[in-house]
Structure 1
Amino acid sequence: MATEKEGGIVKKGPEEGLKFAVSLLQQFDLPEGLLPLADVIEVGFVESTGYMWIVQAKKVQHEFKIVSKLVRYDSEIDGYVEKKKIKKLKGVKARELLLWPPVSEITVDDPPTGKIHFKSLAGITKTFPVEAFALGQ
């Protein structure tokens, strides 16, 4: 894990960490409310590889009300960010009926259609309107 984080920009604390996470989402054209974080301890990003990690004090459960989707965020989340996409995502699960399959990839349509796609490790893909994940939702 340490090698993946080598050369990374790291922001610590709830305010700096949250600001940095939102700025990364903006930079890669991803919805700013995609990661509703709480009690952020550390956010890091390695520009050369796109590797991003987030450490929060505890797990967070959030409902995206527009799409009635319940999502769990572990205390540690990581993945690789690129334009309009997060790959090899770990630490995020979305409720599907009675299951909580891990979300492994998030993609925003390019060119923009207003849609965002969530792919689970089980190969299930769910599509929602991007605005459901705007900041403050």
Structure 2
Amino acid sequence: MPMLIPDDVRAKAEIYTGDAAGQEKTRLMLAETELPSGLLPLKDIIECGYVEETGFVWLKQKKRVDHYFAKAGRHVSYATEVSAIAEKGRLKKISGVKAKEMLIWVNLHEICVDDPPTGKLHCKAIGGLSRSFPVEAFEATDALAVPVTGRLKKKTEKESTDKKDEKEEDSAEKPKEEAAEKPKGAAVAPAPAAVDEIGQKMKEMNTEAPVQAEAVAAKN
């Protein structure tokens, strides 16, 4: 039966469509809840929704995915629709996730890590069955980066603003420092154009002096 998300829940949720956005938001959610990055290896995600107020998250993909976690030695099946309540170090009230135990599939209802961390991840099934595995067994092997959004993006923008303010302050202080270093009464070097003009006038004076001397001699 298809998962129906009530309109009031959708109104409070951040909703993303498409596989690229779905993969990024899934990784971000796992990173923020301090869970291993490969815990939800879904493919061809159609929709991803997250309600920050309650931690409710849902994911819809085109078809079921059966994934084998080699380091844990476990097969896990993800239905076309998966949902859970996400909180620090825990996914609870999970639906749409099954793990193979011996010859049967069991529904997982909770996945969590210890706080403080011990390097162990615990999978709990309906009926009381529980298994523990190394956290590293569920880390993603690909290099998909966690996006910088929301709170992290605001922090980055603030750092950029601070750096800009520092540069402006340095630019304002530099002329003051140069003025302070320059001693009072120091001679100011003439500009190149002024030097050329003075040189030209001196040449004209040197040329006029002999002419004036000849004129005086002839008059006497």
What is the TM-score when the length of structure 2 is the normalising length? 0.61
Query: Higher relative CO (CA 8 A, sep ≥ 6), structure 1 or 2?
Result: 1
Q: Deviations over 1:54-77 (max 9, x none)?
A: 000000000000111000000000
Q: Deviations over 1:44-92 (max 9, x none)?
A: 1000000000000000000000111000000000010000000100000
Which of 3, 9, 14 aligns to 1:9? It is 14
| One-letter amino acid matched to 2:118 | T
1:134 matched to 2:134? The reply is: no
CA distance in 2, matches of 1:94, 1:136: 20
Q: 1:95 — aligned with what?
A: 100
1:24-35 aligned at under 5 Å gives the runs 24-35=29-40
1:67 matched to 2:72? The reply is: yes
Q: Deviations over 1:105-127 (max 9, x none)?
A: 00111100000000001110100
Q: 2:165 — aligned with what?
A: none
What is the TM-score when the length of structure 1 is the normalising length? 0.97
Q: 1:114 — aligned with what?
A: 119
Report the structure, 1 or 2, having the larger helix content.
Answer: 2
Give the match's secondary structure for 2:101.
coil
Unaligned stretches of 5+ in structure 1? none
Whether the 8 Å CA contact 1:5–1:51 is kept in 2: the answer is: no
Report the structure, 1 or 2, having the larger strand content.
Answer: 1
RMSD of aligned Cα (Å): 1.1
| One-letter amino acid matched to 1:27 | E
| One-letter amino acid matched to 2:138 | F
Q: Deviations over 1:17-57 (max 9, x none)?
A: 11000100001001000000100001110000000000000
CA distance in 1, matches of 2:62, 2:113: 28
Q: 1:55 — aligned with what?
A: 60
CA distance in 2, matches of 1:4, 1:90: 17
CA distance in 1, matches of 2:128, 2:92: 13
Give the match's secondary structure for 1:66.
coil
Give the match's secondary structure for 1:95.
strand
Query: How far did 1:5 drift?
Result: 3.5
Which of 72, 82, 91 aligns to 1:86? It is 91
1:38 matched to 2:43? The reply is: yes
| One-letter amino acid matched to 2:35 | L
> Based on CA coordinates, which of the two structures has the bigger radius of gyration?
2
Unaligned stretches of 5+ in structure 2? 143-220
| One-letter amino acid matched to 1:10 | I
Structure 1 segments, 4+ long, off by >3 Å, are 3-6
